[in-house]
Structure 1
Amino acid sequence: MKGNKSTALTLAQKCKNILASNWHGNLNTIKADSQGSKQDIYSSKVKYLLRKGKPYIWVPEKDLHNVNTIIDERASFAVARPYPGPLANVLRSMKKLPVRIALSGEIIPLGDEKVRSATESLRKMVMSEQKEIIESSYAVSGILSSSTFGNTSRSENLVDLLDDNENYAVYKFNASSCTFIDGNNGSHEVNPDEFGTTKPDRLSPFAAKLIDGINQSEIRRRALVVLCFALLNENAKDAYMLSVDHKGFDMLAKVLSGGAEYQWKEFRITFEEEAEDVELFCTKLVQMEEAALDKVKSCSGLG
């Protein structure tokens, strides 16, 4: 069940999934003074929507980016994979940095008509994702409702951009390069053409809510421990969901390593058949949990 070339995501897929699962990132532009000279880098956190494979960025009206981009359109944009709830504390204890991507390119201001179009896309996305959550099955809602770390879905965090009380400038980010940065701070360049054509998972917009829902549930966490034993032959003391995608999921498990010592390690579990949406992912996860539990009972003579 461990990942291999046929079951692992490409770097381009990982990057697009990160973009589609998050809703904010750090935008960096080149500072401009009154003479138009370009000196230091100005950075601030901004919200965005992934639309047609590109980030569309909402910048508050009084933000310095709006001045900088008039002089120089060059920019960079950094986005991390969301690590909600207790997962962030576990990663810090491991001295692991957030997996993230860094884009470089040009930031293009949108005219009024294109701003209206982008805003309408945002409105439709918010309504569609909230509708999917409300109409989800018992298995899905049971996992999503366990998420207690504030607003963890993309739509919940972007809905305030539709408030007419605050003015924003909207930009399209045209990326010319993409770098994937792993948890050990290692950089991996991504083929620009592959990044441009790759589509994100349909699970990505719900990834943070799924992950947090599983990690906030003691029952689900115990099920991950059972999966470690039944599928990976690992004796785990604790486990957390780390990331989800249509091919499977990554998790962190505290396993025996070198005698009686427990250490956090990352593991990959893949599905026999891909899960193209949240409903299928949750169904497959529940089926996998039940099969693993049956296997453990059988091995212990309780089945």
Structure 2
Amino acid sequence: MPKSAAEVRAQLETFYDAVARRATRTETFGGLTLFVREGQGWPRYARPTLGSSVEPTAADVRAVRARQRELKVPESFEWVDETTPALRAAAIEAELHVHEHPLMVLDPTERPSERPDLPDLVTVRRVRADATDLAIVHSVATVGFANPGTASGTDGPTERDTTALGQDPNLLSYLNERLRSGETVMFAAYSPAGPLCVGSYQHLYDTAEIVGVATLPAARRGGLAAAVTWELAGHALDGGNDTVFLSAGDEDVARMYGRLGFRSVGTALIAEAP
């Protein structure tokens, strides 16, 4: 029997906290915990303190923002609306911009048995550690997220390859180590022009989060993101993860994930400085 939405959200709170604690130290501000990266990797964020009965306030948010500026890291907060409903108002009062993202979990019984069709000459395969094109693969996401939404655009392989020339070698080294250790699993859709779509998952405690699914704007509307997500979900399930989830970019993207067997269990919120 599938878990209820409330049960899934409770499980995800433990996952979010544990993943954020990897290679970080924590600082507490009222009802919030700030995760501070130590060493290489992406900057972390602040979240509601796991298991705390203290509701985050606007004063807590302002205190965290001041500390983030002091540390020269992004002023970023992430949480689930249904789990910590007071934080939305506190973040807005503290002059942050709040984004909503459908929080979705996979029902394995609803996952299509076959991968969505791909355009001619396009294949999907796993990106391995030490891939010689890792900078180019990673740049697919950089270009894709710089052009949000699902609409087609002009940015394609040329912009991807130009972006790859400026990728931080330390960040690529960190990503490569995660691929080698298996902490991150990455798949990409390739054409003769190189990678066009990319996505990953990270996993812990039999739970996998699909992240970073992005398509070059010039290659959108071809089903690439659906195919990459299908591969990621299947690999995560085959690896023993019994919960596979993601946060969709918007409702249009959520409908695509719905066709792959994902159902909504809440709303993921991200708050950032305007």
TM-score (norm 1): 0.24
Determine which structure has greater relative contact order: mean sequence separation of CA pairs < 8 Å that are 6+ residues apart, divided by chain length.
Answer: 2
TM-score (norm 2): 0.25
